[in-house]
Structures are given as C-alpha cells and as structure tokens.
Structure 1
Amino acid sequence: MRPDQLAGALSQLQAEHRLRQRAVLDSPQGARVSIGGRDYLAFASNDYLGLANHPALKAAMREAIEEWGVGSGASALVAGHFAIQQQAEEALAEFVGCEAALLFGSGYAANLGVVSSLVGRGDAIFADKLNHASLNDACQLSRAEFKRFRHNDLAHLAQLLQNTPAASRLIVVDAVYSMEGDEAPLAELLQLAERYDAWLYLDDAHGFGILGNGRGALVEHALQHPRVVYMATLGKAAGVAGAFVAGSRQLIDWLVNRARTYIFTTAHPPAQAAAVLASLQLIEQESWRRLLLQEHISALRAALMETSFRLCSSRMPIQAIIIGGNEAAVQMAGDLQDSGIWVPAIRPPTVPAGTARLRVSLSAVHSGQDVSQLAQALVRLLR
C-alpha cells in the first residue's frame, strides 16, 4: 500500500464498520473498569480467574524487581537465563505434566517459533479453519505446505493426512477456540497424529487455568505424549503475561536452538516469572474461582437460552452471541455501553464475514448480580 492510500483505506474500514480503535483504560483490569472518565461493568477481558490485579501477584512482582531488577538485558542465550525464570519453567512443566518447558514473550511469539522450528519446505501443516490468527501466520511463515481442514472435521483432516507425501507432518489446533468458546476433539486428533506419523500442536491459550483443575487441556484429556507439543499463554487465566511451551526435554532443547522468536529477542523481565509462580499457586489452591466461573456460565446461558439470541455452544467463560452484520454488532455493543456495560463487538477479519458477534468474557471477579445485569440488558435490547 502506498502512503497516499492510507486515508482511503481507513475510510473504507469505517464505512464497513470494521475500523478498530483502542479504548484507553484509566483503571486496572477487573469486573469494573474506567474508560474515558466513565465506569463500566466489563465483560471484555480474558482475565478468567480474576488474577490480573491480585495482591499476591503484585507483591511477588514488586519483590522480584527488588531482587532481579526490571530489564533482562538481552536474549537468554546471550546475557544469561535468570534463575527465577528457570524455576518458573520447571514449575510450569510439572504443572502440566511434561518433562520441560520454555518461556516465550507472548503466545504469538511461541506459535511462530515452534511451528517454524518443527516444519519447513517439503513438510505439511494441517490446521483447523478457526485457528487463531497467530497460528495461521506461523503456518504461512514456516514455508511448509499449509492445508486447512473444516472446523473440528476429523474425516476431512484424515483425508488430507492420507493424501500427503510430506516428509514431516504437523497438526495444529486451538484447544479452545477464542471466538466461539468450543473445544477441539483432542483425543481423536492424537489418534490421527499417531496413525499418520504427525506432531500435534495444541494452543491452549484459553484452556490453561480453566480445564483440568486449572492445569489445562493436557491434564483434562490425559494427553501427555511424545507427539504432543503444548503451548499456553500466561496473560489470560494466569493473569500475568507471556507464554510457555511444554513437552519432552529433547523438544525444549531443540526449541532453545532453533526457535527464532526465542533466540533473537530480548528475554522478558525476570519479575514476570515470579508473578507466574505466584499465579500457579492460586490456580491450584483456589478452586472456588473455577466453580464460581461455572456458575456464571450456567446462569448467563440459562438467561439467554429462551431468547432469539444465537449463542455459541460453549462450557467455557467465552460466550459468543452471533449478531451477523457488522453494523448491527457495533450498534448493540454501543447500546450496551450507553447502559454502562462493556462488551466488545468482534467483526471480520477476526471472524468470518456475516458472523459479527458480541464476545462476552466471564470472570471469577464478576458477581452473580453482575451476570444478571448483563443478561437483563441484553434482553432489553431485543425488545
């Protein structure tokens, strides 16, 4: 795109009700946030367990800053790997039942680094059509043949696997799909990976902290296996930032040597690792957060089930309400904001054309009254 085309392109996005603008927060994340001088009951954050502003995480980070400083200086392979980060990696590996783990600066970086280090030219990737954008980018940048199968369609995937001459094969899925809240059939996917000699890469960004008593999709489905490569982000249910990849010791050693997004980037601040360790303790010990979250999910679905809203099937804190058109979704989100409720309108290209939606994110810091207030506001909009 030329510089003189930017204004017209932005105007086109505006006309299509797809122009994105950031809401500037004047408060920490929580059930209620302040935006532009106004307080909102918020259902936008992926802070599912309500840990992003937890006193224990803040204290752990403050203490770690005093001990370890703020910046890491350089990449871990150049300036050194902090002992506190090694401790966090060992704790994360044990938490999800794997031999080893490796911290990354973000889930996006982890996906790019892992996929491109496992496959390349002459290989093939088989990816669910509803995978996160970061997974799609990783697949395209790997230079492997990129094949997409229909969402959760095992027969279609098996057909693609059967007909490939690729030397190495990688199946890539989200464990929980971020815009629908539904889940991948992981046990069946592992069976296909075994049958067709493929890796199985799981992006558990939205399952970690929730599934498997908080330990994620690997534990939920008992999927610890040499073919499985596991990734989870730490900025959602864990309440911190960054991501980690877990698997066999050999896999992690390979990533340290070949994952470019790990090798060629400054390591994330060591204090984040201390917050991760504090978060793991809360995830394990405070199961009431998940129980309360399930109550919220059930209450919202029950309140909307008898309405004409099209609600995606999900047992997760992601509850997507399909609206259809971009303008209608933006209008409904705006009407909710007018009533003091913050719910984001998700539009293409994040979701397919014609499926613009309200994406409700529930959290353990919401009260039952908060969820009831949201449901009542949505029903009023229908009237």
Structure 2
Amino acid sequence: MSWSQRIAQALIARRTSGQYRQRHLSEQGDARSLRVAGQDFTHFSGNDYLGLSHDARIIDAWQQGAAHYGVGAGGSAHVTGYRTPQAELESELADWLGYDRSLLFISGFAANQAVIAAMMAKNDRILADKLCHASLLEAATLSPATLRRFAHNQPASLATLLAGNKSGETLVVTEGIFSMDGDRAPLAELHRLSQLQGGWLLVDDAHGVGVCGEQGRGSCWQQRVKPELLIVTFGKAFGVSGAALLCNDDTAEYLLQFARHLIYSTAMPPAQACAIRAALDCIRQGDGLREQLTANIHYFRQQAETLPWSLGASDSAIQPLMVGDEQAALMLSQRLREQGCWVTAIRPPTVPPGTSRLRITLSAAHRISDIDRLLEALHAANR
C-alpha cells in the first residue's frame, strides 16, 4: 500500500465512522460569544472559565511586555530565552502553590510529554486513570516504562495494580478535574495509596487551577494534597496559554538537565509570561468570578433536569450532556447551531465508544440569559 493509499483509506474510515474532525474558522470570540462565517453564536465550548482572555489588565500586560522584550523569546531557555518575566512567574507560581520550584512549558501537552519522557525508565511502571488526557496516555505509551490503567476514579483498582510486582519506580497519573467528564479525582486516597508503595503522584490540574480552592489554587489545594508532580496550565482559567510543572528543587534541576522539551524548544515569550503574571493576580483576587461560575453551574444543572438527555455527574464548569451515538451527537450539535448556540460534539476516540456527548462548558462570563438560550435550544432540538 502506497502512502497516498494509506492516507486515503484512513480518511475514508474516519468519515464513515462518524469520527471525522473539522476545524471551524472563528472570526471573533470570547467566553460568551463566537462569530463563525459571519454568524454570531452564544459560545459553550471554550475553556475560558473565568472570562479572563479579554481582560484589559492581562491584554495590557502582554502589550507592555511585547514593547519591552519583543514578541518572542529568541531561543531556548537554556541559551538566551530565559528572561526576568519568566523567572519571576516561576517564583510566584511556586510560592502560590507551595512548592520549591516551577518550570514553564509552552503548552500543557508539552509539559506532560516532557515530564513523563524524562522521568521514566525501562523497569518503571506508570499507573494511569483510564480516562486521562491523550497527552498523558501518549507520553506513557511512548516511554520505556510499562503502562497499566486503573478504573476511572477507583482507588481500589489502583491498589490492586500497586500490589503487583515491580522492579523500578512507580508513577501514578491522574487529572484533578477530567476534561471530558468534568468529575473530580479522589486525590487524597490516590496519593495515600501511591505513598504506601513508594510511588509518586502526577496530577494534571488543567481544569481545576484557577477555578477551585483558596485563591483558585486548584484541586490539589482544595483536597489538601501535595503531589510530587503537579501540572497547571494557563489556557483555561488563566485565559492565556502555556503550562508549568510544580515540583521540588532536585526534580526541577533533573528536568532542566534531561527534559528535551525544555532544552530543545524555544522558550515561552517573556511578554506571554507578563500576561500570565497579570492573570495570576486576577485569579488570586477572583473570588467573585469563581462565585459567579459556581452560580452558573448550579443554575444550568437545576434547569437541565427536564431535558431528555442525562448530564454527567459533574459540579465543575464541564457539563457533559450524554447522547451516546456519534451521529446523534453531531446532529444535536448542528441543531443547536441552527438555534444560535455553539456546542461541540465529542466522539470517539476522544471518549469511549457509545459515550458521545455534547461537552457544554460554562464560564463566569455567561449571563443567565445565555444559559436560558441554550436550554431553550436544547428543548427545541428535541421536538
């Protein structure tokens, strides 16, 4: 089979399975609204949970940083790309979250890949929640370690795997709030079990940091857990982009020597670090935004009880409306667009077969009228 035949066959299979993905060019958008092909939609598919992506303070910080430092880092942080804003941001994050050190990455995907690739060796094992993000599972699969997956949010399943034979080190991997289901991991119990076997816990808290815990410190802080490795990202509640790893001094130094994603990638632009620092200030003072987000979540769930589809067991900003069939999820998404609401259908392989859903995401920026419009559109789509 030639390259062209292989590619054509794969595309045909993806189309016929109902799993074909398409990009949509949005001309303008924020946490509440989206403009696509000249049409305005009420937006329920973003991760801008606090509505900070258009905050004037953050935009101004980025602009001032660009005026002073330029628009790029100019090189790897190991060469000339590490400037004062990145160093100050790393220090502030570590202090805020109670760790010795933090290291900046250009994305959450890169952070997860870098940490697992650098930490794991041939005789080690990775025990990951079955519903972990693709970046974590791909990194684990590509690493020399053995990957085993425990039942979603089931400490007893993890305990069984931990009791198995091992010759190297153990890394337990989970998320704080799961990106497709919106539910929360039992972090305290997972950490306790890991420590009993001498293992480390890695938590990706992309969807928790900024929106829960004191000052928005995230899922681990809220559950009074300090995992050995904590990943936080800036493309959700922070409204910017990028990520950071929180860890102890020795681990940070080890990764600076061996994490190839850090050594061989252009560093985060200093201007972006300036924007993230401004977003951090907004988050630390953002109790009002978090309260509004919580109120929006409660209102939506209460009003959605009469819908013919079930909601996932989530009290987070991620509200999965379970449809099941892939084509039915796509059709429902299209009907909502016809009613002026943008909600993306999530299908396999992102979620397990038979669990296609609309991934409804709420923001502090949403108004009750926005949520009512979505609810009315859902009822109309069912007629």
TM-score tier (shorter): over 0.9
Once residues 332 and 9 of structure 2 are traced to their aligned partners in structure 1, the CA distance between those partners, rounded to angstroms, is 26
Does the alignment pair 1:87 with 2:88?
yes
Which string of whole-angstrom CA distances, capped at 9 and with x for unpartnered residues, describes residues 351-380 of structure 1?
001111000010111101111111121122
TM-aligned CA deviation for residue 54 of structure 1:
1.1
TM-aligned CA deviation for residue 6 of structure 1:
2.1
TM-score normalised by length of structure 2: 0.97
CA RMSD of aligned residues (A): 1.2
- Letter of the aligned partner of 1:299 in structure 2? Y
Alignment match, 2:316:
316
Does the alignment pair 1:206 with 2:207?
yes
Alignment match, 1:180:
181
Q: Secondary structure at the match of 1:101?
A: strand
TM-aligned CA deviation for residue 52 of structure 1:
0.9
Once residues 108 and 307 of structure 1 are traced to their aligned partners in structure 2, the CA distance between those partners, rounded to angstroms, is 35
Alignment match, 1:160:
161
Contact 1:61 1:271 in 2 (8 A): yes
Alignment match, 1:232:
232
Once residues 286 and 189 of structure 1 are traced to their aligned partners in structure 2, the CA distance between those partners, rounded to angstroms, is 29
Alignment match, 1:353:
353
Moved more, 299-308 or 275-284: 299-308
Q: Secondary structure at the match of 2:364?
A: coil
Percent identity among equivalent residues? 39
Once residues 83 and 178 of structure 1 are traced to their aligned partners in structure 2, the CA distance between those partners, rounded to angstroms, is 33
Alignment match, 1:138:
139
Alignment match, 2:223:
221
Which string of whole-angstrom CA distances, capped at 9 and with x for unpartnered residues, describes residues 232-276 of structure 1?
110111011100000212221111111111111111211110001
TM-score normalised by length of structure 1: 0.97
Once residues 82 and 62 of structure 1 are traced to their aligned partners in structure 2, the CA distance between those partners, rounded to angstroms, is 16
| Mapping for residues 88-103 of structure 1, pairs under 5 Å | 88-103=89-104
TM-aligned CA deviation for residue 9 of structure 1:
2.4
Q: Secondary structure at the match of 2:211?
A: coil
Which string of whole-angstrom CA distances, capped at 9 and with x for unpartnered residues, describes residues 74-100 of structure 1?
111122411110001111111212111
| Mapping for residues 291-330 of structure 1, pairs under 5 Å | 291-330=291-330
Which string of whole-angstrom CA distances, capped at 9 and with x for unpartnered residues, describes residues 198-218 of structure 1?
010000010010111311122
TM-aligned CA deviation for residue 283 of structure 1:
0.6
Which string of whole-angstrom CA distances, capped at 9 and with x for unpartnered residues, describes residues 159-209 of structure 1?
111112231000000111100000110000110111010010000010010
Once residues 223 and 247 of structure 2 are traced to their aligned partners in structure 1, the CA distance between those partners, rounded to angstroms, is 15
Consecutive unaligned residues in structure 2, runs of 5 or more: none
TM-aligned CA deviation for residue 55 of structure 1:
0.9
Does the alignment pair 1:60 with 2:67?
no
Which string of whole-angstrom CA distances, capped at 9 and with x for unpartnered residues, describes residues 113-133 of structure 1?
111222110100000000000
Contact 1:47 1:237 in 2 (8 A): yes
Once residues 171 and 205 of structure 2 are traced to their aligned partners in structure 1, the CA distance between those partners, rounded to angstroms, is 16
Alignment match, 2:6:
5
Does the alignment pair 1:23 with 2:24?
yes
- Letter of the aligned partner of 1:330 in structure 2? L
Q: Secondary structure at the match of 1:21?
A: coil
Contact 1:96 1:218 in 2 (8 A): no
Once residues 156 and 88 of structure 1 are traced to their aligned partners in structure 2, the CA distance between those partners, rounded to angstroms, is 38
Once residues 177 and 378 of structure 1 are traced to their aligned partners in structure 2, the CA distance between those partners, rounded to angstroms, is 24
